[in-house]
Amino acid sequence: MGLIFSAIITLIIVQTAPLHARFTADTNAGPQKIHQHSTPRIGGVAIFISMVMIGFLGVFDANPILPVVIGAAIPVFLGGLLEDVKGRVSPRLRLLLAIISGACFVYLSGFTITRVSFAPMDAMLAVPVIAAGFTIFTITLFANAVNIIDGLNGLSIGTSVLIAGAVATVAGGVGDIELMTISMVFAASVLGVVLFNFPKGKIFVGDGGAYFMGAFVAFLLIMLPERNEAVSPFMSLLLVIYPSYELVRSTIRRLIASDSQALQPDQKHLHSLVYQYYVQRDKEGFLNSNARAGLTMLIFPLFTSLWAFVSISSAEYALVGILIFVAGYEILSRQFYDVSKKSKDNIVG
């Protein structure tokens, strides 16, 4: 039902685009934009409404944590949605709203990160204020991390679905049926938008959708080990490592570069370099360069989601998976950067 509701709402948005395009359409203006046509960017509305509708069909009663996590994500979702419609919400304000969503989650759910399987840190997290602050920081980081990879058809939503699917599977395996259920509801609601986003990009989730997905996935991954002692916190870290690493790496790169600002978008992310690589090959088929690049980048969350199943209770296995990811990311990043640089040099020459 989540898939059906989301797909219907998305279809309505797409079909009525001419009526609301002046407010909701995304143009190709901006250094991070790599699409060529004006496209609705409010797919996040379909995800949010679908989840609320499913909740009122009885899921809220059977799974009382669901309305809590949906409600906690509202501030950052509305901030992103306002940016999608108005385009005047500063990065700092959206950052503040992500912090507020994190605080709402801690207050409403009562969950905080109390263990990370590292003794000195666990001792610090035994202090409630530190645990709350660290939890809010984690949620804020991941909400922004999903937004930063929201640049290719299918990438941010595909990543969110893969992570939610992994959470649902692990939660079901350890007997946490409530967390399994809300993870499946979330994944189904996102998949309804995927049908129209990939491969042709008829709609984007926008900042509202990206922030909502990021915050919601963060909530799931915080609750999973906290509700189930058999699950290693490092498994949660493994599942979020791709978007988080992209965010941290990009922020450091921007701070170092004299011509860039940490909160401003650019076209130097790995997914941007992969897209440029496919554009240079200029071989359009059923999958355009945007979709092919998005599909290529999904190798990372697919790997971490699959590796998570061998590291459910093992911090060591999770760390090995994280190291493999970092090595693979850096190798591909170097290769695609070199290809992009050579192409630019050839054009200048």
Please identify which residue in the block is written with the tokens 């450091």.
Answer: 252
Q: Are strands 39-40 and 25-26 parallel, antiparallel or unpaired?
A: antiparallel
Annotated binding site for Mg(2+): 147, 207
Taking alpha carbons only, the member of 159, 154, 156, 151 closest to residue 271 is: 151
Neighbours of 180 (CB within 10 A): 20
Question: Where is the binding site, in residues?
Answer: 147, 207
What lies within 8 Å, CB to CB, of 80 at 6+ separation is 44, 89, 94, 147, 206, 207, 208, 209, 210, 211, 212
Determine the Cα–Cα distance for residues 247 and 251; give it in Å rounded to an integer: 6
The token pair that represents 67 in the structure block: 């309305």
Q: For tokens 């990370």, what's the residue?
A: 116
Decide: 135 and 222 in contact? Cβ < 8 Å: yes
